[in-house]
Structure 1
Amino acid sequence: MREEMKHDRARSLIEQAFIFSFPLVLMDITKEVSTNTVEPSKSKAPVNCFFHAKALATSEFRQVVTPNVDTLYSQVFFDLKDDALVVKKPYADRYLTFQIMDAWSNTVATLGTGGDTDGEKTYILTGPSFRGDIPEGMDRIEVPTSIGWLLGRTICYGAEDIPNIYKLQSEMDAETLSGFMSNGEISKGSYDASKDGVPLTIAMNLSPTEYFGRFNRLLMDNPAYPEDNELLRELADLGIGAGLSFSPCLSSEDLEDFWCEMKDLLLPKLIKATLKFMVRNGSFKFYGDPISRFGKEYEYRCLVAIAGFGANPVETAVYLKAEEDDSGEKLNAKNKYLLHFMSNSLPPVGEHGFWSVTAYGDDDFLISNPLDRYAISNRSSFKLNEDNSLYLILQTEEPNENKENWLPVGSDGFHLFLRIYRPDNSVLNGTWEAPKITKIG
């Protein structure tokens, strides 16, 4: 009986450790995949270098689920262990943000729109080992871990606007402090075909020994937060911790069986445990605080890493999802619907803020249609009703009237994302009323 209790405790701690550690392991693997290149491309760049998306997603895009068609991404996966990183952000009279995340996927700072300034600025990102001087004219961003992710988003007003974004991208820069001070050349990266893959799949396919070995190494330079110490003391009993060697109290066969079962049951368990963070507004719902600044909400942090890695803080953006109409029936393009924003109730946003409604198939990709129209947004030429309300037409075929208000939804199951960037507080506290989705045929 005592031995079985010991094994039960080991299983419980392994599951807690996996949930706790997963964002850090996934961040490292994402960094490894995204920096596995000699020179920058549109999808990769060496460590501490920018890479930029060059086009908006279409229905042919299959790299990432639920891609947005509002912004182009600019990214840097950084490593601050041996040097600080100098980052230059251009002036932009539009929505442009740099989200700085630490190794645990917590947002350390939001720079640009809704953050500090729309103006041109130079920052220096420093890690926990930095001991140098800060050059004059740079704003310091202290990152509590060595590795992390800069995720930039720049609003795009359509294909004709792409050249303007390219210009902004050319004015973004990142280089190590030592390179900046010496005007040295940016060093090239390297390529290893064995490191290619989908980061989430790679992480999930690691064996327990591989997984916790990687986590233990990462903790050396990417420390947990002080509030995590209580859990880490317990995990040390199984050799889980900075510099430790993983030593579970289970046989190899028992460990492998439990490891597979744990991962199979993980997602439903995480969803159930985090329902308390779901904010509902009619048919729509979104994940609210403390998203992106998770504290000790380890299950929430793990869920977001799996389902929406790199999520914004709510004051920066919220993504409201609708899978059902107002009667509670699943959305299906065999029916016709109206999405109705009440009079003067379009999504309220701050300066340079914006919103969009995007339709996705059950596969979470954009829906092919003759107009290549994947979303309707505040940048679209839709037609308001006389009372300043708005009907969007959700159906398969093109309507006879109000074609500018038509959002094609394919021929089968679909769902919507209402993205609101720089949302007004009324969106966050629920006093703004989300649009209704009514079946009309």
Structure 2
Amino acid sequence: MTTTRREFSLFRTGFALAGFALIAACATAPDTVAPKVSNGWVKDEVSDSYVFGFPLVLMDVSREAATGSAPGQAAPNTLRHAQSLPPVGASSPPEPNLDTLASSGWLDVSNEPVIVALPDSHGRYLDARALDMWTNVVWSTAAAPGNERVAGQKAQTIAFVPAGWKGTLPARAKRVDVSTRYVWFVARIQTRGGGDIAAVRRLQRGLRVAPLSAWGEGGARGDEPGGATQSGVPVASGTPAAQVAALDANAFFNRLASALEDNPAAPDDAHALKILGDIGVQPGEQAQLPGGAKDKAIVAAGLADGRARVATPPSNLLAGNGWLWVGDDAGNYGPDYALRAYAAYTSPGLPTSRDEVRASVSQDGDGHALNGANRYTIHFAAKQLPPARAFWSITAYTPDGALDADAPVRVAFGDRSGARRNRDGSLDVQVSAARPRGAANWVPVPHGDFRLVLRMYAPKAQATDGSWQPPVVERR
């Protein structure tokens, strides 16, 4: 059975969620209405504010963890190049990618533009994107008219410019105005692993980044001052998401208030800021949350409710056969705070739907949790293969998004890994902990519970308009 959920909402129903319109009646009542005589509104406003601010706090914690001089960190306006696929036991972000090697960095545009140059990829798949601190994609390679990226990228230069800046940029640089101080830049280059990684590293050396003042003739290269690069796997004490989850209400809202000072909300977020003010949170100031004995318990309850909402799929996800994925709104959320928070929680740095679609599933066709003690089959009909202009893959993860440390192989199965079709053009993919005898199309999975992620690079419209759904995962 397939379903498609496309309804739009600011905040999901369920968990007794209150919409902003309802909260507005409590938070912004005119003088003619009797003042509040109960603090019951506090829980809802704390919960709503947590959902609203979660992406910014997560991005701020991620930026802090990635920038600096400690091992595994890099200075702002530099790039770190992943130079191997994730090894066993490595610290890595949730759902690490096994199809590409990423080059990423945090750009600081507070004083001047930061320039990034991409090399000609010579026919190899390469995509890149930049996110503001609210997880909106402000630029991506998919934005170029007619750019399908199947045949790689041409060389290009992008200038990330602070709002209101006036000046001269390098010739042929595309100007991208940014309203937040920091920008997260990510470029990904497709690799088959093994000996193919050397070719990817050569392309990575062609990436350039530097502030405008350090962008000399020809541009600062990655290994020159002002454009240094780093390699290796970041080392952190817990993922950014885990660090945010550990924050109590005061710590969370103080972090949010501090980050808001340099990374203002959008003009359309005025009402969300008003609600923050109602609970004592102002940009750049120490949070003054309601502090009475009863209030503290209510604030804690609101925080717990907000955490639950961030981790719960909103109703306007696309859905089919147990799979869930973000549709056309990915990377451009507007006032859909619930979707934005969920996307940040489950898929940090999620691209737009023109760059990539990620569909995930954690149950079989009977609604039971996927588990490596069982064997499963995914059957793609001949004309129902994943609709991607570039390529697609399926990868298995533990429930918390990690790769299986005990797996004998760590691979993603897809159309670039020797997929063999049946005589009628259909495709059967075997999903199990041990490789089935004679199976050519196999996704290795952990021995316990797991989830699958289907990635479609440069997806076709069918992947996001609801006219296509991934097949059911059938237990054998």
For Structure 1 versus Structure 2, the TM-score category normalised by the shorter chain is 0.7 to 0.9
> Which letter maps to 1:143?
V
| Distance across 1 between alignment mates of 2:366 and 2:247 | 43
- Unaligned regions of 5+ residues in structure 1, if any? 190-194
Shift of 1:392: 1.5
Inter-partner Cα distance in structure 2 for 1:290 and 1:267:
22
| Alpha-carbon distance in 1 for matches of 2:161, 2:378 | 47
Q: Give the Cα–Cα distance (whole angstroms) in 2 for the partners of residues 187 and 395 of structure 1.
A: 44
Does the CA contact (< 8 Å) of 2:129 and 2:140 recur in 1?
yes
Q: Equivalents in 1 of 2:452, 2:399: separation in Å?
A: 10
- CA drift of 1:75 comes to 0.6
Match of 2:374 in 1: 335
In the aligned structure 2, how far is the partner of 1:284 from the partner of 1:196? 32
**Within-5 A mapping of 1:115-264:** 118-181=153-216, 185-186=225-226, 198-251=239-292, 253-264=293-304
Partner of 1:69: 98
| Aligned-residue offset at 1:166 | 0.4
Residue equivalent to 1:357: 394
Q: Give 1:8-87 correspondences, 5 Å limit.
A: 8-37=40-69, 43-87=72-116
1:282 aligns with 2:321: yes
Distance in 2, Cα, partners of 1:114 & 1:393:
37
Contact 1:356 1:418 in 2 (8 A): yes
* Two-structure CA RMSD over aligned residues (Å): 2.9
- Which residue, out of 402, 410, 419, partners 1:382? 419
Residues 1:200 and 1:324: Cα distance change in structure 2 (over 3 Å):
closer
Distance 1:141 1:388, change over 3 A: same
- Contact kept in structure 1, 2:84 and 2:101, CA below 8 Å: yes
Moved more, 168-177 or 112-121: 112-121
- The alpha-carbon deviation at position 370 of structure 1 amounts to 6.6
Partner of 1:393: 430
Tell me how far 1:4 sits from its aligned partner.
7.4
Paired with 1:373 and 1:360, the residues of 2 have a C-alpha distance of: 10
Q: Per the alignment, in what secondary structure is the counterpart of residue 377 of structure 2?
A: strand
- Structure 2 letter corresponding to 1:149: W
Query: Do the aligned partners of 1:286 and 1:321 also contact (CA within 8 Å) in 2?
Result: yes
Alignment CA distance shift 1:424-1:265 (3 Å): same
Runs of 4+ in 1 over 4 A off after TM superposition: 112-117, 181-184, 253-256, 368-371
| Higher relative contact order (Cα pairs below 8 Å, separated by 6+ residues) | 2
Q: Deviations over 1:329-385 (max 9, x none)?
A: 3222322222111124321222xx110011223443223567514321111123221
| Amino acid in the other structure paired with 1:367 | D
State the 1:399 CA deviation. Answer: 2.4
Cα distance change of structure 1 residues 433 and 310 upon mapping to structure 2, 3 Å threshold? closer
* Letter paired with 1:386: R
CA distance in 2, matches of 1:398, 1:207: 45
Contact conserved, 1:91 with 1:120, CA < 8 A, in 2? yes
Return closer, same or farther for 1:392/1:162 CA change in 2, 3 Å cut-off.
same
CA apart distance, 1:307: 2.2
Greater share of helix residues, 1 or 2?
1
Matched residues in 1 for 2:180 and 2:329: separation? 20
Deviation at residue 259 of structure 1 after TM alignment:
4.1
1:301 CA drift (Å): 1.6
Distance 1:424 1:4 in 2: 51
Q: Which deviates the most, 366-375 or 77-86? A: 366-375
CA 1:433–1:161: 2 relative to 1, 3 Å: same
* Corresponding position: 1:309 with 2:348: yes
Q: Which amino acid aligns with 1:413?
A: D
Is residue 355–residue 421 contact of structure 1 (8 Å, CA) maintained in 2? yes
1:74 deviates by 0.9
